[in-house]
Structure 1
Amino acid sequence: MAGVDVPRFGQALLDLVQDIGRIGAFGDVYKKECSDLCRRIALLSYLFEEIRDFKGIHGHFSASTSTSSSSCFNDLLVALKAAKLLLSIAANYDSGTSHDLCAKEISLRFQCITWQLDKALGNIPYDHFNVSEEVWEQVELVRSQLRRATERNGSPDSRTLCSVLSEPVDQEPDILETGEGAFENIANVDHECQEMGDIVTKGNGKIGHNIEQMIHECERPKRFLTSSQVCKLNEDDNKKPDNLDSSNSMETKKTEPVTIPDDFRCPISLELMRDPVIVATGQTYERSYIQRWIDSGHKTCPKTQQNLQNLTLTPNYVLRSLIAQWCKKNNIEHPMGSRSGRIRKSDGSFQDVNEEKEVIDTLVHKLSSRSVEDQRSAATEIRSLSKRSTNNRILIAEAGAIPLLVNLLTTEDVRTQENVVTCILNLSIYENNKELIMLAGAVPSIVQVLRMGSMEARENAAATLFSLSLADENKIIIGASGAIPALIELLSNGSLRGKKDAATALFNLCIYQGNRGRAVRAGILIPLMKMLTNSSSCVVDEVLAILSVLASHQEGKIAIAKASTIPVLIDLIRTGMPRNKENAAAILLSLCKKNDENLACIGRLGAVIPLTELAKSGTERAKRKAGSLLELLCKLKRL
């Protein structure tokens, strides 16, 4: 059966985006919802352009694409048509002439379309449409915005979703139903998943089961919040305080959501800017997002499309100050921040912290002293306090300690520097402090400590970079700061603890694709291979975790094969621990997919026998990986 006209389909999606962009000004009632949805859909135009320009066989995608993969395109078309109709209605909605039921229905439709767009975008076979890395990242940005909106408003139930999306939105002929066959006939796309997905949940900084075990084995396990603990904190933050009276509760319910001024939003992410920077064209962006744009190879301003004369990012202090004033005026603050000497506990009640606050304020004041002894003693005390509790981490940050600590990172007093970098590490455990540390410009100084500090300072600098990189946007900033070569140096020549800290930081940074190439070019494979072949090495798990991430990147895959890693991985399948065998098989599978040269190599090296044994007696995951490799070897023999 003939395939489907993919370019024509891409053009149909682009036409829908353009139609939505022409809807025009929105009324006050649903202005925010309409604007947010329009902006997110507009960002998808780059994806649809690449789908339109996709050239398969004579510009058609073959009938071998899977039905499950094809359904996402139908879902996407339906969701965009529903969005077009909803925006047309909401744009002209007049609360004075409509009933409450109508308003509730419109809100529900926004909720349903947001959920459906995220679902459809998550199922697109990006690899098989040759979607570029920068466009894929832009789609991931849109999806993260859609997910956050869904989390705020809740997921729709299936009955409501069907009701909203099944209604006829217009009478346009379905572009997918052509004389050549319906889009459902696209079958069996080999949509290759990233093998590192079994080790880490992609893109969100959360640790998977193997790397999580690796972190538990580190010598500093209590300094980091696990992803489940972060989720628990978020749940606790959202709990209603028991001692608030009902009148306050009613007032809260009636409070209208605050609309972020357009000038305070990053033109790329559409989110409130925390670290606005100015590019050469005079436009302002959130630092992490414009850095990602530049790292992807772009030399133009995203908003104006003008060429950037230079790639300098200048902090926009005036706008940052205005945003801070706006946040204060609208009572936008940290959910667990202190209020009038009290901190809200996880059960919703408040704890008096006036006494602790006075002590901390005094210590923070001493940090700015000209006396080296005062600075050292204050840093020592703050290090101890920041290790004890979340409350202390909140109070220390609110007392203004973070900028002062960052200034002291470059002190010549070794003991002060060790205490200061450890203070920042401890403070970064509290999620909201990560942003404050980044805004204080801490990363370059932390990298300097990583390069030139004492071994204790270097270890804790690496651990701090790991903690900060748990936030996705920070992975980009840290990767661009020169941290990766410094971490590789510590991985090569550090103490055992230093190597472990460097490995966990490098692993987490390389979750962001742009950092994988940096790590390979900085020579990461040299220390990795040395540790992998050292029989006394205690970091084999860490090495395999990093290799798993790098093997999902084309540059990394080539470099791993050239580093003669394949024989070592086969030996691990023969003699390694069960978890080592499992991860070695996963890496080999990544190296051999769509690469007959690597596949022939493992065949020549006698991998069939250990793989057969692993397929029979390994862990469940190891059996799957070994079985897939054996199938590929059988296919190669038949060619």
Structure 2
Amino acid sequence: MLSSWRRRRANRRAKNSSNNNTSENNNMELAIPNHFRCPISLDMMRDPVTLSSGITYDRESIETWIEAGNRTCPITNQVLRSLDPIPNHTIRRMIQDWCVENRSYGVERIPTPRIPISTIEVTEMIEKISAARRRQDLEGCQELVRKVKELSKESERNWRCFTANGIASALSATFQAFAEESPSSSSSSSTKNVAVLEEALSCLPSFMPFDEAAKSYLGSSSSLRCMVWFLKHGILSARRNAILVLKGLVSSDQEGLKTLLDIEGNVEALVKLIKEPICPVATKASLVVIFHMISTTPSNETLISSFGEMGLVSLLLEMLVDSDRSACEKALGVFDEMCSCSAGREKAYEHALTVPVVVKKLLRISDSATEISVSILWKLCKNEKREEDGNALVEALQGGAFQKLLLLLQVGSSERTKEKATELLKMLNLKRGNLECIESIDFKNLKRSF
């Protein structure tokens, strides 16, 4: 009995001794040498860099300091001769060795950081791209563009450095230079040409929005014609990148948009992206481009008629049935512009689901979608020539449009939408009777004003 008690006491002492050692280890773990700490964050430096003042900081901390507009050293207050920090490999190796020596205390070795690209390196790379472009060096250009893409993806700092030094203009100029030759040619040189163009297209979306120089290169007739060709005949990734570049261009460049309208096959290429979707991002980008095209030329019934003949109305209605909020808003925006002229409205009247689907979107998706849906209904009902049967009004009543519009006036909307809703209610009231049909689920997520 006595020996059993002694064994238990010995075990307790051993356990207490182990706990004391663990406590000491934890205390030692916190004892980081002062010269390993960043003077700004006071944490152990993971990527030590030295300024022209001779003081070493952690890269993330000092870059945040410089990006805030400071041009002096935080410790010495000296004006910095250069804003490019120099990696301090000696301190970094000492920190790594210290981490390895203290790994038994739970200290993990910091990984060797990738050295971010500098302004000088970016400038040299842009000059090399320009030189290779002038020499018509296809392989050289392709390799340099691929390197730009890889480096820009390594870190946010690399991307900012490329953007600030005008890489988008260099890539756009390269794309335009090699787009002069038609990519549809069957020659071997043209095949390499396509490879360079695909590489440039894959890199350009990362550097949007484009500056004025990039817009001028990408908005040229040769560049736009090449992008339309990629939309129709390119591989999936090239089609996706081409529509993203077009979206970034037409959203801010009216001259480029006007040039795109004159490119042969633009309607077929854009509708193909919706008919044969690649990914939701590409589909939404295509809707944005179409919206800008038809909203810029509202009186151009030929363009809207072309989209109608390609089956755009049916495709838009299909999207409205099961797409997400963003896609529905964009599809409704395009549909609204289509209904601004008689050619688009005729295609809408021909489709049996037009009015029922649009009425369903009232008060269901978002405030923006509701206002666009009211605009579409107003255009369809007000401009319907078949007054003897009034099909659009009858279908709207059967879908519950009257009650939804009344609720819309109560919950609030823009003045223009209220005017259209009021006018619609007057037109619908003439057809009322036993035609109304209401689904309570339509009002499930309605926000009350009280």
TM-score after normalising by structure 2: 0.55
After TM superposition, give the deviation of residue 404 of structure 1 in Å.
Answer: 2.5
C-alpha spacing 1:419/1:566, structure 2 compared with 1 (3 Å): same
Q: Compared with structure 1, are the counterparts of its residues 534 and 574 closer, same or farther at alpha carbon in structure 2 (3 Å cutoff)?
A: same
Letter in 2 for 1:491: I
Report the alpha carbon displacement of residue 449 of structure 1 after superposing the two structures with TM: 0.8
Q: Which residue among 123, 129, 133 is the counterpart of 1:363?
A: 129
Listed as ranges, the matches of 1:18-97 within 5 Å are none
Question: Matched residues in 2 for 1:440 and 1:583: separation?
Answer: 34
Give the CA deviation at 1:551.
1.3
Q: Deviations over 1:30-79 (max 9, x none)?
A: xxxxxxxxxxxxxxxxxxxxxxxxxxxxxxxxxxxxxxxxxxxxxxxxxx
Which sections of structure 1, spanning at least 5 residues, go unmatched? 1-352
Q: Is the alpha carbon distance of 1:545 and 1:510 closer, same or farther for their aligned partners in structure 2, counting shifts above 3 Å? A: same
For residues 205-284 of structure 1, the aligned pairs below 5 Å read none
Following TM superposition, by how much is the alpha carbon of 1:508 offset from its aligned partner in structure 2, in angstroms? 1.2
Change (3 A) 1:377 1:369: farther
Q: Aligned equivalents of 1:409 and 1:361: distance in 2?
A: 26
- In structure 2, the partner of 1:521 is 309
Does residue 388 of structure 2 align to residue 566 of structure 1?
A: no
Q: Is the aligned partner of 1:466 residue 2:261? A: no
Q: Which residue of 2 aligns with 1:589?
A: 378
Query: What CA deviation, in whole Å up to 9, does each residue of 1:64-98 have, x standing for no partner?
Result: xxxxxxxxxxxxxxxxxxxxxxxxxxxxxxxxxxx
Whichever residue aligns with residue 404 of structure 1, its letter is A
Check whether the contact 2:145–2:200 (CA below 8 A) recurs between aligned residues.
yes
Superposition map of 1:89-488 within 5 A = 356-367=122-133, 373-383=139-149, 384=152, 388-393=162-167, 396=170, 401-407=174-180, 410=183, 412=191, 416-423=196-203, 425=205, 426=207, 429-439=210-220, 441-469=222-250, 470-481=252-263, 482-488=265-271
Tell me which residue corresponds to 1:493: 276
Q: Which amino acid aligns with 2:409?
A: A
Cα deviation for residue 448 of structure 1 reads 0.8
- The aligned counterpart of 1:180 is none
> TM-score, normalised on structure 1?
0.40
Instruction: Give the structure 1 partner of residue 287 of structure 2.
Output: 503
CA contact (8 A) 2:356 2:399 kept: yes
Hey, what's the Cα distance between the residues in 1 that align with 2:269 and 2:210? 22
- Taking the aligned partners of 1:496 and 1:427, their CA distance within structure 2 comes to 19
Contact 1:463-1:505 at 8 Å conserved across structures: no
The answer to whether the aligner puts 1:580 opposite 2:375 as a matched pair is no
Cα offset for 1:406? 2.6
Pairing 1:599–2:398 present: no
Q: Distance in 1 between matches of 2:266 and 2:204?
A: 16
- Among 402, 425, 432, the alignment partner of 1:630 is 425
For residues 161-219 of structure 1, the C-alpha deviation after alignment (integer angstroms, 9 at most, x for no partner) is xxxxxxxxxxxxxxxxxxxxxxxxxxxxxxxxxxxxxxxxxxxxxxxxxxxxxxxxxxx
Percent identity between matched residues is 20
Counterpart among 297, 310, 331 of residue 543 in structure 1 = 331
AA of the residue aligned to 2:243: A
Q: Cα distance 1:386–1:477, how it changes in 2: closer, same or farther (>3 A)?
A: farther
Q: Give per-residue Cα distances to partners, 1:440-460, cap 9 Å, x unaligned.
A: 621111111111222221112
Higher relative contact order (CA 8 A, sep 6+): 1
Partners of 1:405 and 1:424 within 8 A in 2: no
Contact 1:363–1:378 under 8 Å retained in 2: yes
Q: Is the 8 A contact 1:409 1:449 kept in 2?
A: no
The answer to whether the Cα contact below 8 Å between 2:175 and 2:197 also exists between their aligned partners in 1 is no
Mapped contact 2:325–2:365 kept (Cα < 8 A): no
Distance change >3 Å, CA 490–CA 525, structure 1 → 2: same
- How many residues end up aligned between the 2 structures? 286
CA distance in structure 1 between the partners assigned to 2:227 and 2:141 by the alignment: 18
Q: 1:510 to 1:393 in 2, by over 3 A?
A: farther
Distance 1:415 1:397 in 2: 14
Aligned to 1:389, the other structure's residue is in SS state helix
What do residues 456-514 of structure 1 show as CA deviations (whole Å, max 9, x unaligned)? 21112112222332333433331232212111111122211211111111111111233
The 3 A distance-change label for structure 1 pair 531 and 427 is closer
Contact 1:573–1:610 at 8 Å: present in 2 too? yes
State which structure, 1 or 2, has the greater radius of gyration over its C-alpha atoms.
Answer: 2
Whichever residue aligns with residue 363 of structure 1, its letter is I
Q: In 2 relative to 1, CA 406–427 (structure 1 residues): closer, same or farther, beyond 3 Å?
A: farther
| Higher mean displacement: 578-587 or 561-570 | 578-587
Asked if 1 retains the 8 angstrom alpha-carbon contact of 2:145 and 2:203, the reply is yes
CA contact (8 A) 1:585 1:626 kept: yes
Give per-residue Cα distances to partners, 1:329-365, cap 9 Å, x unaligned: xxxxxxxxxxxxxxxxxxxxxxxx8774443121222
C-alpha distance in structure 1 between counterparts of 2:233 and 2:201, whole Å: 13
Distance 1:394 1:498, change over 3 A: closer
Tell me the equivalent position of 2:63: none
In structure 2, the residue corresponding to 1:539 is in which secondary structure? helix
- Which residue number corresponds to residue 218 of structure 1? none
1:390, CA displacement in angstroms? 4.8
Q: Which amino acid aligns with 1:477?
A: T
- 1:363 touches 1:382 (CA, 8 Å); kept in 2? no
Q: Which residue of 1 aligns with 2:22?
A: none
Runs of at least 4 residues off by over 6 Å: none
| Letter matched to residue 307 of structure 2 | A
What do the CA deviations read for 1:373-427 (whole angstroms, capped 9, x no partner)? 42321222455488842531476279x5353243588353676443212455547
Equivalence for 1:274: none
Does structure 1 residue 615 correspond to structure 2 residue 403? no
CA change 1:427–1:530 in 2 (3 A) is closer
Contact 1:589/1:625 (8 A) holds in 2: yes
Retained in 1: the 8 A contact 2:208–2:248?
no
CA offsets 1:565-595 (integer angstroms, 9 cap, x no match): 1011112226444433222112111212232
